[in-house]
Amino acid sequence: MLLASHRDHLAALAARDRLRTLAPRRGVDFSSNDYLALAAAPRLRAAATAALERGVALGSGGSRLLRGNDPEHEALEAEGARFFGSAAALFFGSGYAANTALFAALPQAGDLLVYDSLVHASAHDGMRLGRAETVATPHNDADAVDTTVAAWRARGGTGTPWIAVESLYSMDGDRAPLADLAAVAERHDAMLVIDEAHATGVWGERGRGLADTLDGRENVITLKTFGKALGCEGALVCCSRLVRDFLVARARPFIFSTAPAPLAAAVARAALAMLADEPERRERLHALIAHASARLGPLGATVTWTQVMPLLVGDDRAALDLAVAVQRAGFDVRAIRPPTVPAGSARLRLSLTLHVGTADIDALAVAVAEARR
Ligand code: PMP
């Protein structure tokens, strides 16, 4: 019976400590992606209220290709393209939807898609729906991307090569060698797709992301998401007009889904304005990163010089036990285990946000040291 097999599956997951359950927020935030603390910022709340008062709708009523297209979507896309420096932009309800759309629709049969071994699950899901040949390369290895594309060409590959990376890796906190990857893309006439989910708002000039100098190139596509540093939800694919037109015509998650709430677009636009107007938020976060690197690095956290500092444990059970001990001391830290991260690399994913101060970081360091003792 179907449900019996599902019950067995859950029991097997539980036996391997792999069962996922929902836990409430509790303790000082060292795990959210609300990096700039915009999610509850008074100015963003006021923007949402003002949007409602000027009549912005809570729902779009249909696909963007039908009656769901709203001036708020178009205003956000125009503003986003201007802010990020791309020729065009297309709004999706989430980064997940945008990645599945991109990777399923853009690479064609006969193309090659080379992806970093640590790209997000949403990129994998899009690739699974797509028609291109896919090849993983070792993490952050631009030379491996180069030789993989060259070998494919030598074997007679004639389509377009695509390169998929993140600019700041979600679970490792490290940065991609974007300049090298852009050079590889130029050399092979390849398209470079850069997921900036964790860089948007935090890095680059005015928070435009780590790919801020690549946006606007014909062969570069970036994904900027609103659910993390921007404190709300949704995502912009920043690209050429041609790529935008193609996605509108062919991307199934765009075509066959109710358009995001016009209110979500209005709030996202207000969050972009806050990035431009409030550079001090970024500066405060960067100062916290320096402080945390000095305090948590000696305890084993990877010093990435970004707001994501994983504390690698290895064993799943040991990571869970460490998380529970630190949680008991009053901190919201979560164990990240396979399949979210590779087998044998369970960790606490420590993230820094403006919800904490230097004293909280110092107290966390004490709690981690005690838990490990
Ligand atoms: N890409 C990366 C690298 C992510 O970390 C995430 C969110 N975990 C996504 C895409 C999906 O974005 P969203 O949360 O907006 O669906």
Pairing of the two strands 88-92 and 235-239: antiparallel
Ligand 1 atom nearest residue 166's Cα? 3
Using one digit for the tens of pLDDT, what is the confidence trace for 325-353?
999 999 999 999 998 999 999 999 999 99
How far is 164 from 342, CA to CA, in rounded Å?
A: 18
pLDDT tens string 19-43: 888 988 999 999 999 999 999 999 9
Residue 177 has pLDDT above 80, yes or no: yes
Residue 170 falls in the annotated catalytic set: yes
Ligand 1 contact, 270 CB (< 6 A):
no
How far apart are alpha carbons 313 and 320 in whole angstroms? 9
Q: Which of 33, 120, 334 to mutate to test the pocket of ligand 1 (most atoms within 8 A of CB)?
A: 120
Cα of 347 from ligand 1 centre, angstroms: 19
Band the pLDDT of 132: cuts 50, 70, 90. very high
Q: Which CATH number fits domain 24-38+279-372: 3.40.50.2300, 3.30.9.10, 3.10.105.10, 3.90.1150.10?
A: 3.90.1150.10
Residue range 42-68: mean pLDDT, rounded: 98
Please identify which of the residues 73, 120, 188, 224 carries the catalytic annotation.
120
Mark whether 99 is an active-site residue.
no
Least confident among 2-16, 176-190, 262-276 = 2-16
| Span from the CA of 174 to the centroid of ligand 1 (angstroms) | 16
- Residue 224 predicted with pLDDT over 90: yes
pLDDT tier for residue 1 given thresholds of 50, 70 and 90: low
Residue intervals in the chain for CATH 3.90.1150.10: 24-38+279-372
Second-level CATH architecture of 56-276: 3-Layer(aba) Sandwich (3.40)
* Spacing, Cα 193 to ligand 1 middle (Å): 14
What's the rounded mean pLDDT across residues 246-269?
A: 98
Burial class (CB in 10 A: 0-12, 13-18, 19+), 82: exposed
Mean pLDDT for all residues in the chain: 97
Q: Which of these is catalytic: 73, 188, 224, 228? A: 228
76-122, pLDDT tens digit by residue? 999 999 999 999 999 999 999 999 999 999 999 999 999 999 999 99
Instruction: Assess whether 198 carries a catalytic annotation.
Output: yes
- What's the distance, CA 120 to chain centroid? 8
Looking at the chain, the domain(s) classified CATH 3.40.640.10 span: 56-276
pLDDT of residue 180: 98
Residue 17 confidence (pLDDT) above 90: no
Specify burial of residue 27 (Cβ count, 10 A radius: 0-12, 13-18, 19+): middle
> What pTM did the predictor assign?
0.97
Instruction: Enumerate residues 6+ apart whose C-beta is below 8 A from 61.
Output: 67, 68, 258
For the Cβ of 349 lying below 6 angstroms from any atom of ligand 1, the answer is: no
**Residue 18, pLDDT score:** 83
At 229 the pLDDT is 98
